[in-house]
Structure 1
Amino acid sequence: MKKLFSLLAITLLAIFLVACGTAEEENNDTENDNASGDQAENQEENAEQSEEDAEELVEITVGATSVPHAEVLEQAKPILEEEGIELNIEVYQEYILPNEDLSNGTLDANYYQHIPYLNDQKAEFGYDFVNLGGIHIEPMGVYSKNITNLEDIPEGTDVIMSRSVADHGRILSLLQEHGLIKLKDDVEPISATIDDIAEDGNPLNLEFDASIEPGLLPEFYNREEDALVAINTNYAIEAGLVPSEDALILEGSESPYVNVVAARSEDENNEALQTLVEVLRSEEIQTFIEEEYEGAVVPVSE
């Protein structure tokens, strides 16, 4: 009888332990399910919040040549994000496409060209663009591998220039300023062409080649060592030149060739684009330009 009671007690204890274990597992499963549910709910809420944040950002796409324009825009990105604007930068290596893409709607704005070039493009292609504001000046420079002094320029020296007509008056004015040529009296220097050099205004009989793609000018500088090569500052910097040190002649900061942000006329009052211009003119960005390019690029505030 005593054995029977002992066996019965052992059986009841085993049943009790099994029941407790099952209950504990059920509790753990319930807690895990609740935790998983909470985690999934939190992830869903975070995803929804991220989507809401993304929706709040206004996206703009701006075309720019790589140096210095795209680099300046990169500095402006985090500042614009704080203003609720997501800036996408499309980098170009030449001068024609950024205006074409602005016209066809691929871009919201571009930042790469000076005012005379913009005006020439509008006149030639009928672009309905507006200048939203000037950001900086890139002084034009004349470079030479072998000629280190203006007084040492030989007669008949080649002068290699961009094929961009908007730059011709700029370069010729620079040469006239330093006594190398003289333009006709009735010619506005900013719009001058090679044909506007006075009959007796080329004492060194300089030979002009104005057929070169702007981005290729540094190659001609390296190849035509005895020539004078007029190079836009952005391409000079890309080629490793330091305009303030390497240029034989360098345009002053009073140049009217201000690089601007351009947009379609319909977007003249676009708030995001106006904010872009304000940020590019801010003290933070102007200081970056001054320190990064050491005078090769000069910021403007108006």
Structure 2
Amino acid sequence: MKKASKLLSLGIAFILLFALSACGKSDSKALSTKEITVGVTGGPHQQIMEQVAKLAKKDGLTIKLKVFNDYNTPNTALDQGELDANSYQTLPFLKGQIKDKNYKITDVFKTVAFPMGVYSKKIKSLNELKKGDSIAVPNDPANELRALQLFEAAGVIKLKEGVTQNATKKDVVENKLNLDIKELNAESLPAQLNEVTAAAINTNFAMGADLTINKDAIFHEKIKDNPYPNYFVVRTENKNDKVVKQIKKYYYSDTIKKYIAKEFGGSVVPAW
């Protein structure tokens, strides 16, 4: 009996120790207010966050940046704990990734908008498109829909009603010029401009190829009140962390707003 009692006591002590350890582990999940790692895509998102990091540094917060050249890896890295946050994506894209991959991540505040544009090395206007010409769009969910809607707004094609973020060229119900719609990786589109008649390109990749909305696009989304703002994203468990509010304060400062206006000349605009 004494032996059984002793074992029971040890068992209870072990359970209590585990419970306390678990509580400590839960508390430790809050993001540090001293150092944080943020994933960004190369280009404007990286440049803007570098300026945010300078403001944060003055207050003792180090923001380390990890730069990616694709849209998928930053969310995987965030969900798996390799990043503390990321800043590079629109809400439709984020929601699509969460649904498809069951990520436990969420948006916390708007950052900037990148009006998508149509670019060409062969024509000056989409009115110059001829039968059988080729047009290119990003092949990832959300961005493909956005690109197709942009060509629809220009009167080039027509999509079926009620299309979702998983729309593809199969959802085009009217294509009077019998255009060859090519679905390509978003980052490769600038390099494909010699191969197609026109392409809808995300602004960060366009700028990487020295293409700008105001000077080079032959058609583009509206710049003011753009419907596709980007977001700062964290793991869901961290959405109310103190450091998230700190970074939002820096991002929404007049210093960053002025930097965006001066550096990008309308191709990137504040979404707040």
Q: Same fold by TM (over 0.5)? A: yes
Match of 1:4 in 2: none
Quote the Cα distance in structure 2 between the aligned partners of 1:205 and 1:122: 35
Picking from 82, 85, 95, the partner of 1:109 is 85
Match of 1:35 in 2: none
| CA deviation profile, 1:211-268 (whole Å, cap 9, x unmatched) | x2211111101x31x5211111001111111221111111112332111100001101
Match of 2:217 in 1: 247
8 Å contact 1:187–1:196 — kept in the other structure? no
The 3-state SS of whatever aligns with 2:76 is helix
8 Å contact 2:116–2:203 — kept in the other structure? yes
Aligned letter for 1:77? A
For residue 292 of structure 1, report the CA deviation from its aligned partner: 0.5
For residue 191 of structure 1, report the CA deviation from its aligned partner: 5.6
Aligned letter for 2:129? I
8 Å contact 1:109–1:263 — kept in the other structure? yes
Quote the Cα distance in structure 1 between the aligned partners of 2:235 and 2:192: 35
For the pair 1:162 / 2:138, whether they are aligned, the reply is: yes
Picking from 188, 200, 208, the partner of 2:181 is 208
For the pair 1:277 / 2:253, whether they are aligned, the reply is: no
TM-score, with structure 2 as normaliser: 0.84
For the pair 1:141 / 2:117, whether they are aligned, the reply is: yes
Picking from 264, 267, 289, the partner of 2:238 is 267
The 3-state SS of whatever aligns with 1:102 is helix
| CA deviation profile, 1:84-124 (whole Å, cap 9, x unmatched) | 31110111111121111101111100001111110110011
Match of 2:7 in 1: none
Quote the Cα distance in structure 1 between the aligned partners of 2:84 and 2:176: 48
* Match runs of 1:45-64 below 5 Å: 58-64=34-40
Match of 1:153 in 2: 129
Quote the Cα distance in structure 2 between the aligned partners of 1:191 and 1:100: 19
For the pair 1:85 / 2:61, whether they are aligned, the reply is: yes
For the pair 1:195 / 2:170, whether they are aligned, the reply is: yes
For the pair 1:176 / 2:152, whether they are aligned, the reply is: yes
For residue 289 of structure 1, report the CA deviation from its aligned partner: 0.8
Quote the Cα distance in structure 1 between the aligned partners of 2:171 and 2:111: 31
| CA deviation profile, 1:160-203 (whole Å, cap 9, x unmatched) | 1111121122111111111111122x3247664322222xx211
Match of 2:44 in 1: 68
8 Å contact 1:281–1:300 — kept in the other structure? no
Range moving further from structure 2, 174-183 or 124-133: 174-183
Quote the Cα distance in structure 2 between the aligned partners of 1:96 and 1:173: 22
The 3-state SS of whatever aligns with 1:252 is coil
Identity of aligned residues (%): 34
8 Å contact 1:168–1:193 — kept in the other structure? yes
8 Å contact 1:132–1:261 — kept in the other structure? yes
Range moving further from structure 2, 81-90 or 105-114: 81-90
Match of 2:206 in 1: 236
TM-score, with structure 1 as normaliser: 0.76
8 Å contact 1:156–1:204 — kept in the other structure? yes
Range moving further from structure 2, 118-127 or 166-175: 166-175
Larger radius of gyration: 1
Quote the Cα distance in structure 1 between the aligned partners of 2:252 and 2:93: 21
8 Å contact 1:183–1:189 — kept in the other structure? no
Match of 1:129 in 2: 105
Structure 2: runs of 5+ lacking an equivalent: 1-31
Quote the Cα distance in structure 1 between the aligned partners of 2:93 and 2:119: 22
CA distance 1:57–1:278, change in 2 (3 Å): closer
Structure 1: runs of 5+ lacking an equivalent: 1-55
8 Å contact 2:33–2:243 — kept in the other structure? no
Quote the Cα distance in structure 1 between the aligned partners of 2:76 and 2:167: 26
8 Å contact 1:173–1:190 — kept in the other structure? no
8 Å contact 2:163–2:171 — kept in the other structure? no
